[in-house]
Amino acid sequence: MRQVDGRSDAELVGLCNSGSRRAAIDAFQVLYTRHRDYVLRVAFRYVRDTDLALDVLQETFTYLLRKFPPPGNGLVLNAQLQTLLYVAAKNNAISLLRKESRTEANGRFDPEQMPAPAYRDDSDLGRLLTGLAPEQREVVTLRFVDDLALQDIAEILDIPLGTVKSRLHTAVQAMRNSPYVKDFFDK
């Protein structure tokens, strides 16, 4: 049985920035182990393919690794590490989808075709979120699936806190009025 490392993400990032080579490697491994499942979940919401999600996972942690010396100047955490990882995973997933789209469409890419975070349509969560606008699905997912604070969601999405609250309120109201949601919870 593996022991859980009790150090905070900030402490581990500090070791990656300025610890000995061995301490930095160990700290990065702990960060990877701690956050890989989260990054995979975020990636899969966008790419909806296990192999592509694994590619996003690799690109996201490669991006993170490049932030640390050398070659990077170090990482300063202004929010939770999960915030940075969400943005990186989302951007990597969208970039990968754009690349795939260009390959399939001979270079013609329509940004409107990029998916919002989604789940398999046959999943309970997918059915519960059906009917919500993409930006509402994203806020609901970040709040209730990823358990992020409203301020963290605002930072991740780079929108005002009031907009997060408004989207969440509208989504919850829509779900309250959804016959599927009512049937789901009456089971």
Domains, the chain, with CATH or none = 1-114 (1.10.1740.10), 116-187 (1.10.10.10)
Instruction: DSSP letter for 142, please.
Output: I
Task: Measure the CA–CA gap between 100 and 83, rounded to whole angstroms.
Answer: 26
Per-residue pLDDT of the chain (187 residues; tens, 9 = 90+): 557 889 999 999 999 999 899 999 999 999 999 999 999 999 999 998 999 999 999 999 999 999 999 878 899 988 889 999 999 999 999 999 988 876 665 554 454 444 555 554 446 677 778 788 889 999 999 998 888 999 999 999 999 999 999 999 999 999 888 887 777 777 6
Look at residue 74 and give its three-state secondary structure.
Answer: coil
Check: pTM over 0.85? Answer yes or no. no
CA dihedral of 156, 82, 47, 58, whole degrees rounded to 10:
130
